[in-house]
Structure 1
Amino acid sequence: MSSAIVHLAIPAGNLEETLKFYTDVLGCSLGNSEKGRWQDVNFWGNELTLHQSEERLPNVRHDVDMGAVLVPHFGVHLTQEDFDGIKDRIAEAGLTYIDEPYRRFEGGEYEQETFFIADPNGNVLEIKTMKNPEVLWPKS
């Protein structure tokens, strides 16, 4: 597959408040914008566009192996170092997890540590680190 960047646009509520979460807590950088209307965020090489909004997305819980997770959600797979850095910044900011960090598939090839957190507008993010990231998309 050739190089591709995922683009996702979501309602941000108060754009300025939500931007602080993505830059200060997650460590993302900013790109193109239309002041007061929308802002592109470099979400680990993908384009996340935050739109000033009044609405919030509804979330429901879906059963999976470790319990019920909120859907919709989006996220990213990080190195252990980057993952731990975000956990540290979450603690420093005094934020609360939706689902605390936990390990899934322990001892298996898909072993991972993951957590769920919401941005200021209630958009749910799953942040994870894989013990063996190469198993996700093996080179053929």
Structure 2
Amino acid sequence: MSNTFHLAVPAGDLADTLPFYTQVLGCASGNSEKGRWIDINFWGNELTLHQSEERLPGVRHDVDMGNVSVPHFGAHMPEEEFQALKKRIESSQFDYLDPPYRRFKGTEFEQETFFISDPNGNVLEMKTMVNPAVLFG
């Protein structure tokens, strides 16, 4: 697991938040300390959900596609996996914060993206690139 990214976030009540990550997003859970934290395999990266009382305050910033929530995190995924994720979200109790949108149409950076928030208000941006090889050149 070299070069694996690690991020820890306040997750509110883990019993409420864990199903969002495992059932809706389809991520596997890993190591944990009961009632304190649990690791999630977030598309090959380690996301640690911490039991918490606090929620992060969010703001919105203007970008080409509109006004997006900051801070946020997410994952790039293959088109087929991205479309399957959208179907799971659309058949769940969760709504998009910002619905799927195609950005940079007709360029080498063309992508489809959407924003959703977990039960504790952490904002995720999920995306698929038409040409993933251009991401970091």
Q: TM-score surpassing 0.5?
A: yes
> RMSD of aligned C-alpha atoms?
1.1
**Is it true that 1:98 corresponds to 2:94 in the alignment?**
no
Instruction: Give the aligned residue type for 1:101.
Output: P
| Matched residue, 1:122 | 121
Q: Secondary structure at the match of 1:53?
A: coil
Query: Matched residues in 2 for 1:8 and 1:100: separation?
Result: 24
| Matched residue, 2:45 | 46
Query: Matched residues in 2 for 1:125 and 1:87: separation?
Result: 13
Gaps of 5+ in 1: none
- Report how far residue 17 of structure 1 moved: 1.1
| Matched residue, 2:85 | 86
Q: Secondary structure at the match of 1:13?
A: coil
Query: Matched residues in 1 for 2:83 and 2:14: separation?
Result: 26
**Is it true that 1:133 corresponds to 2:127 in the alignment?**
no
Q: Percent identity?
A: 69
Query: Matched residues in 1 for 2:79 and 2:93: separation?
Result: 21
| Matched residue, 1:30 | 29
User: How many residues are matched?
Assistant: 137
- Report how far residue 84 of structure 1 moved: 0.6
Cα displacement string for residues 77-115 of structure 1 (whole angstroms, at most 9, x for unaligned residues)? 011111011110111113211100010000000000000
Query: Matched residues in 1 for 2:29 and 2:93: separation?
Result: 23
- Report how far residue 25 of structure 1 moved: 0.5
Q: TM-score, structure 1 length as denominator? A: 0.95
Query: Matched residues in 1 for 2:83 and 2:117: separation?
Result: 17
Q: Secondary structure at the match of 2:86?
A: helix
- Report how far residue 3 of structure 1 moved: 3.4
Over 6 Å off, 4+ runs: none
Q: TM-score, structure 2 length as denominator? A: 0.97
